[in-house]
Structure 1
Amino acid sequence: MQQAIFFLFAIVAGVMLPVQAGLNTEIGRSVKDPVYASLISFVIGTIGLVLYLLLARADWGEIRNTASLPWYYWTGGLMGAVYVAAIVVLTPRLGVALTFGLTVAAQMVFGVIMDHYGWLGVPKSPINWMRVLGVLLIIAGVVIVRVNQTIVVAIPE
């Protein structure tokens, strides 16, 4: 049951990303800058997280535990900002499906590598033919979306 809840949470989060891309893209058009759009997105997200932590009566003292982490763990937020800015730049140029297809394919390839080596403390899960097949199917899906997109764009209206 608990695993089903985690799967559902992952699906809901996955559905939110293309919606977020559309919303942030419109903010980017409005402010005429993808970095400003990303900043607005992160400010609103930060406000939402602070409100959640206040309502959940979180133990703010736990934040001190992060002081002992190596410096590179702090780059996660920067990577998130680059990702959101990239989505704002890419979505109007590539479309939502291709943008997310490419990013998901890259995530899967690197995720399988990270799992194999157990980098950054993730549980080790060796690369095997089923995982490789899964990644190849995702890449094939991206190729099909791209080919289909090209065909659709090439048809005169």
Structure 2
Amino acid sequence: MNPALFSMVAVVLAGGATALQAPTNAKLMGAVGSPVNAALVSFAVGTAALGLAALILQARPDIAATRALPWYAWVGGLYGAVFVVAAAWGVPRLGVALTITLMVAGQLLIGMILDHFGAFGMPAQPISWGRAAGVALVIAGVVMVRKF
């Protein structure tokens, strides 16, 4: 399989997993009493799964390389925590489709800005009319999911 196509399929499947994660964590929230508690359980299960995967794959971190990382390389989990709490909280109030489309719209808006400036050492990809139109279409999709 073409590596780019494989990457795109893998990312689409991961996006599908986030759509599954939102109602799953919303259900969990009802049992554990809050979206924060649901996120805590979710991250504990995820951490255990990643630990097992690391053992099976014999993935070992390069400790020397971690010392040279900038501070922001260590806070990615915080963004994930915000995402999981917001999804668990939003789904019962907005529904799965609206919650996910709003999240995708937010991801695209921030992603396009980060791309434009080449933030965090990533290659710069300037905002173009086509890219802006794509994000606008997603935002139009949010409106359609909400109104219809």
TM-score band by shorter chain is over 0.9
SS in 1 for 2:123: coil
1:87 aligns with 87
Pick 1 or 2: higher relative contact order, CA cutoff 8 A, min separation 6: 2
Partners of 2:6 and 2:82 lie apart in 1 by 29
- Number of equivalenced pairs: 147
2:34 aligns with 33
Aligned alpha-carbon RMSD (Å):
1.1
Correspondence 1:104 to 2:113: no
Paired residues for 1:40-119 under 5 Å = 40-60=41-61, 62-119=62-119
Partners of 2:90 and 2:51 lie apart in 1 by 29
Alpha-carbon displacement from aligned partner over 1:7-57 (angstroms, at most 9, x marks no partner):
110110011111111111111101111111100100110111111110011
Q: What TM-score, normalized by structure 1, do the two folds share?
A: 0.89
Partners of 1:77 and 1:15 lie apart in 2 by 20
Shift of 1:65: 1.9
Unpaired runs of 5+ residues, structure 1, are: 149-157
SS in 1 for 2:127: coil
Q: Which amino acid aligns with 1:3?
A: A
Alpha-carbon displacement from aligned partner over 1:58-100 (angstroms, at most 9, x marks no partner):
124x144222222222221111111101111111001111111
Larger CA deviation: 62-71 vs 51-60: 62-71
Partners of 2:83 and 2:60 lie apart in 1 by 29
Query: Residue 94 and residue 63 in structure 1: after superposition, are their counterparts in 2 closer, same or farther (change >3 A)?
Result: farther
Q: Which amino acid aligns with 1:2?
A: P
Partners of 1:75 and 1:117 lie apart in 2 by 20
Who wins on radius of gyration, i.e. which is larger?
1
Q: What TM-score, normalized by structure 2, do the two folds share?
A: 0.95
SS in 2 for 1:18: helix
Correspondence 1:121 to 2:121: yes
1:143 aligns with 143
Larger CA deviation: 80-89 vs 69-78: 69-78
